[in-house]
A and B are shown apart, each in its own frame.
Chain A
Amino acid sequence: MATTALTPAAPAYRSGLYEWATTTDHKKIGILYVVNSFIFFLLAGLLALGVRTELAQPGLQFLHDEGVYNQLFTMHGTVMIFLFIIPVLVGFGNYVVPLQIGAPDMAFPRINALSFWLLPLGGILMFSGFFTGGAAAAGWTSYSPLAQDRPLGMQGSGEDLWIVGLILIGTASILGAVNFLVTIFKMRAPGMTLFRMPILVWTILVTSVLVLMATPVFTSALIMLFIDRNYGGHFFDPATGGNAILWQNVFWFYSHPAVYVMVLPAMGMISEILPVFSRKPLFGYKAFVFATAGIGALGFSVWAHHMFTTGSVFLPFFSLMTFLIAVPTGVKMFNWIFTLWRGKLILSTPLLFALGFLSMFLIGGINGAFSASVPVDFALHDTYWVVAHLHYVLFGGSVFGLFAGVYYWFPKMTGRMLSEGLGKVQFVLMFIGFNLTFFPMHILGLSGMPRRIADYASTAGWNELNLAASIGGFVIAASIVPFLVNVAVSLRGGRLAGDDPWEGNTLEWATSSPPPPYNFDHLPEIRSERPLFDLRHGRTHPVAVLPDPGAAPQPTH
């Protein structure tokens, strides 16, 4: 019986432009997602700097027209959500999930490529508004009647470009979700039962369910808005029988589960990183899985807490459901803390960002719990309190989690380590800048400063805090510099990573860095959620070696 020995050629990391443009390899597509998302991160960050520059002092100093200010914060929010945080987490999922389940690729590689390329297309469509008379300026939430095509509303094509761009991006998301679900359920390596999957795979699974179920509702809302704006529709026009609050209802039915889409994969990344850098297994794996599923499910029943003040909401139902979500989230918090407890902590950059995630997301969760109370929300709705909350969970939470993942998986993706020194500089600057920017917003919100205003009275007492927040914004911008330098320098001459620089637990560390196109030469036995740990400590055997039929039978043990 002949055996075939596989001796693949060394993988070429730098492939030609054509290769990158036409690839269906989940690893390259994952990298494309990440790079594309970071470009939009920088663009949306510049928009935020525009906002903060204007708000640093009372009076309209730099913008002659508040309409431009509205475009800045609208596009900042939209781009950060739909073109940065969701795609970058999906991109990491794209790269890591097939590796972590021992699969050679995603289930539908060509649809995977399509899902990616729709993103820059959608982004360009939305940004082209700036060049055609004004981008969308009705807030990322685009409430009617402001979003309608009428005097004092969004006349002009910017809002329509925004709608079409988002429909394309939403379609890409839905296709991606189908891809992830089929991959996770059908292509796991032998021995990897659902409850032996890494937590990141579980969070991507739940995220994909949320995307699949919620995004189409947003698509339908966008289509209804487009029909109202362009075909004489009356969905959101009370004068002819429509209902402006209907937009909010359908919009938030998607957008609330969307925030879990924005945070669950980052939580999954943290759940991979904390065990490795505490040298301990994740505390409470099963509880984690059920808590994630619980958050996903409960996330569908709280949407109207964004609409408490409209007068059309049954307040007790939504307030109760919102408070309930704190329970599974708390379970996860305790699991992460008990993973760290009495572990042998290795304070490298991924762990630092993970600790940043834990502390900042905790604050974000607590200030969110305040808003869940109806009377409190009636006072704080549409103030800077909400801006503080959303940035503590999305930046302090998701973005810090994302950077933890970047430092953790960069060696696997490129074969080189990122510099620890520059990483720590980035962390410190980003942590300080972030808190300087957003903590004062709690106080601003409590003292009544509304959100989405270009200017404020100098006698309101908000001057110093706004100035502090603007300075913090520039510190955040400064923190990106060591990161970009780090990536550029490490790509050229960083320390070679090898297969498993972190002594990881999961399957992606069982192959070369970067992996060959087909991912694995051979897989270890999978008998727990930590297959590499088991292999390293002799609890499982390495490659399953085919017995030689001609040899004498060996005693089995």
Chain B
Amino acid sequence: MHPLRHPRNALLIGAIFVVIAIAYWVSPYLGSGHIDYAGITMLGALGIAMGLLFYILIAGSPNE
């Protein structure tokens, strides 16, 4: 199956946002900023939602 059609790869898109959320969590430690828990929560949830979204769109598409 073409990689773009494989549903598992759709979860990668969600994973990207989770990575961004982690980067957003870690980066204030490198600077001097304080941690923005609201932003981390929203980005992390976005990763979960995006992963589920793209998974079901690709897995649920017709097989042509």
Given A185-B60, A300-B43, A301-B43, A209:B36 Cβ within 8 A: no
Interface 1/0 per residue, B49-64 and A, CB below 8 Å: 1100100010011101
Residue of A185, A300, A314 contacting most chain B CB atoms (<10 Å): A314
**Beyond A250-B42, A301-B20, A317-B27, is A185–B57 a contact (Cβ under 8 Å)?**
yes
Q: Is B3 an interface residue (CB 8 A)?
A: no
Q: How far is the CA of A297 from the CA of B54 in the complex (A)?
A: 13
Checking B13, B16, B42, B61 against A186 with a beta-carbon cut-off of 8 angstroms, the contacting residue is: B61
Instruction: Report B1-17 CB contacts with A as 1/0, cut-off 8 Å.
Output: 00010000000010011
Given A249-B39, A313-B36, A315-B33, check contact A300 B61 (CB 8 Å): no
What does the 1/0 interface line of B30-46 toward A look like (CB < 8 Å)?
01011010110011001
Whether, in the assembled complex, A217 has its beta carbon less than 8 Å from a beta carbon of chain B, the answer is yes
B36 touches A249 (CB 8 A): yes
A534 to chain B, nearest CB (A): 19
Query: Measured between alpha carbons, how far is A193 from B62 in the docked complex, in Å?
Result: 10
Query: Which residues of B lie under 8 Å from residue A315 when comparing CB positions?
Result: 33
A304 engages B39 (CB within 8 Å): yes
A194 to B38, CA, bound (A): 35
Given A185-B57, A185-B60, A297–B16 Cβ distance below 8 Å?
Answer: yes
A212 & B61 in contact (Cβ 8 Å cutoff):
no
Report the minimum CB–CB distance from A44 to chain B (whole Å): 29
- Give the distance to chain B from A186, nearest Cβ to Cβ, in Å: 7
Chain B proximity of A46: nearest CB distance (Å): 36
Tell me if A190 counts as interface (CB < 8 A to partner B): yes
Classify chain B's interface size: 20 to 34
Task: Determine whether the beta carbon of A250 is less than 8 Å from that of B31.
Answer: no
Q: Is A81 an interface residue (CB 8 A)?
A: no
Determine if A517 is an interface residue (Cβ-Cβ < 8 Å). Answer: no
Q: Which residue of A lies closest to B33 (CB)?
A: A314
A185: chain B residues at CB < 8 Å are: 57, 60-61
Within 8 A of B (CB), among A296-318: 297, 300-301, 303-304, 312-317
**Residues in B neighbouring A331, C-beta threshold 8 A:** none
A264 sits at the interface (CB 8 A): no
How many residues on A have C-beta within 8 angstroms of the other chain's C-beta atoms? 25
Within 8 A of B (CB), among A203-234: 209, 212-213, 217
List of B residues within 8 angstroms of A300 by Cβ: 17, 20, 43, 46
Smallest distance from the beta carbon of A178 to chain B beta carbons, Å? Answer: 10
- A residues in contact with B31, CB < 8 Å: 314, 316
Bound together, the chains give a CA A213 to CA B36 distance in angstroms of 20
Q: A314 touching B49 by the CB < 8 A rule?
A: no
A181 within 8 A of B: yes
Q: Which residues of A contact B62 (CB under 8 A)?
A: 186
Q: B64 near A190 (CB under 8 angstroms)? A: yes
Proximity bits, A156-178, B CB within 8 Å = 1, else 0? 00000000000000000000000
Partner of B50, one of A213, A313, A317: A213
By the criterion CB–CB under 8 Å, are B46 and A213 in contact? yes
Q: Whole-angstrom distance from the CB of B14 to the nearest CB of chain A?
A: 11
Q: How far is the CB of A336 from chain B (nearest CB, A)?
A: 25
Question: Does A84 belong to the interface (CB within 8 Å)?
Answer: no
For A246, the chain B residues whose CB sits under 8 A away are 38
Among B4, B38, B50, point to the contact of A249 (Cβ < 8 A): B38
Chain B, residue nearest A298 (CB): B20
For window 308-353 of A, CB contacts with B under 8 Å fall at 312-317
Please name all residues of chain B whose beta carbon is closer than 8 Å to the beta carbon of A236 when the two chains form the complex. Answer: none
B28 / chain A contacts, CB cutoff of 8 Å: 314
**Distance, CA A318 to CA B27, complexed state (A):** 11
**Least distance between A293 CB and chain B CB atoms (Å):** 9
Minimum CB–CB distance from A9 to chain B (whole Å) comes to 32
Q: How far is the CA of A181 from the CA of B21 in the complex (A)?
A: 25
A460 to B53, CA, bound (A): 53
A313 lies within 8 A of B42 (CB)? no
Instruction: State the Cβ distance, B30 to closest chain A Cβ, in Å.
Output: 9
| A314 cross-chain contacts in B, Cβ below 8 A | 24, 27-28, 31, 33, 36
Docked CA distance A317–B57 (Å): 31
* A291 shortest CB reach to chain B, Å: 16
State the CA gap A76–B14 with chains docked (Å): 36
- Residue A438 is within 8 A (CB to CB) of chain B in the complex: no
Across the interface, which residues of A come within 8 angstroms of B13, CB to CB?
297
The answer for the CA separation of A312 and B50 in the assembled complex, in Å, is: 27
Please tell me if A82 contacts chain B, counting CB pairs below 8 Å.
Answer: no
Of A186, A213, A303, the contact of B49 (CB 8 Å cutoff): A213
8 nearest CB pairs, A to B: A314-B33, A249-B38, A253-B42, A314-B28, A185-B61, A185-B57, A317-B27, A301-B20
30 A-B pairs (CB sep. < 8 Å): A185-B61, A186-B62, A209-B53, A212-B53, A213-B49, A213-B53, A217-B42, A246-B38, A249-B36, A250-B38, A250-B42, A253-B42, A297-B13, A297-B17, A300-B20, A301-B20, A303-B39, A312-B34, A312-B36, A313-B33, A313-B36, A314-B24, A314-B27, A314-B28, A314-B31, A314-B33, A316-B27, A316-B31, A317-B23, A317-B27
